[in-house]
Chains A and B, each alone.
Chain A
């Protein structure tokens, strides 16, 4: 499977976001580079403060870039763009938020919540068409037309998140930025929302940028994963490749930290704590390099050689196991 043949929907190039606070500068995202292919789920995984949400918000153009650019369908969408492009991008890139209760207007009916984008962009000929669109969006997410007249507080957490998804879907977007869409939900409801997101991806050919901190969820839903630490993308790989051959020490520590629902494994597990300051930083400045097709790791030449040796050892062990 070569990534070269796939169509790139969104491309992030040398992206940097800097926040200014009382004269101090803080680089929240440092030189991020990645492509998102059409029809895939690309996940950004990291801890709080790692800059994963900031990247999502930079793509949504909520945060301004201090360097680099974002290309969507071959067009630059960061910085100053024409009014038509602006409208087009707002419609084609939609967002789903973490807390469905906070992202819906409590005093508006579900009908209004879902139609809001249509109103703003006049995406309907007449009332009839608008209502038909709302009904369709609600149906897509597994809600019923009669839910239209209700208010957000009348729904459970999972249903509210469905309304949040319907709100995004009604705009017929091509890319959805989903920022921790299931972290606030119960285990059983999580499964429903994940299934729904997968279903919509298949039916509508959607592309997702999925932002999360929980690797176990990410594994189920993603095609490719980027691991981000302190504003820096340290590793990008296809999902199974990343789980099979994690190379960067931070990726390894993140993988070991996720508790698995199996007492035998959990009780035998040894915790790997990652400490940036205790690593060997000798040698030239590291950059994101491709070590295997589609597998990138943030390293300098010395570290590259170490990772290469490790990878070969792992591949050898697998070959002999077969």
Chain B
């Protein structure tokens, strides 16, 4: 449905996005994940034809956005980061305008009526947009994107500024719409991705650093590398045994949760499955394993890890520890910037 190939766009000297390619089949809900300034919005603006790429092309339902913009745009509903609202108009006037602007030809009243129903706008239908709360403004923006029943929806941070109940509502609306449409939504709220999306594209510094299902992403990165183990026996004995074991990067004592046993967080070296040798060694020493489970990385960890790795990848000379710090700082700054904006 959406074909994006080697998209590149620079702003002055800095690369906004750098060779992004992906393809999305019909009916998939895809999450764009990345820190602010990673290139999510730029990519979306290019897909919708608002910006033009320096190189690469975008095809919507087989139609090239640059060659045949009118036809391609007919397939797309777009909710930009800041909803494109005329504050002096009422919701009714605004949606009528969007309907006429997009040249939709199915019964106006029913079409707009059903969209308002779906987005929960019926109560504020006759009110002036400028007087609505942020949550309602966001919904008006979403309603606008739905006009004309486009088969592709591009939503840039659709749940920003909503209260928790509204977030759940909007997510449900998105899921509902996703049954019959292809959707790309961007976010930096990580639980949103696992709640709504079937697939995640993580973007960092203008490149795609991961492309997978949300649950696989969690597994691939940390599932086998970090283990939580409860082992019966003396603390020092277990610890020195674990630390002496090949393939174990670190073994940290967590505490004594169950009498006579100790909990450890064990991190293996990359690409090594230490479970079997560890079991054998502990059994030989007479320390039974009472519990062993992979420690799931939260999406936050994955996110930081992936975006860190992208930075480390770009600057291979620096060690990982030093490269991680500026990245973290950068993230903090970015988040602070955003708070100031609001």
Indicate whether A and B interact. Answer: no
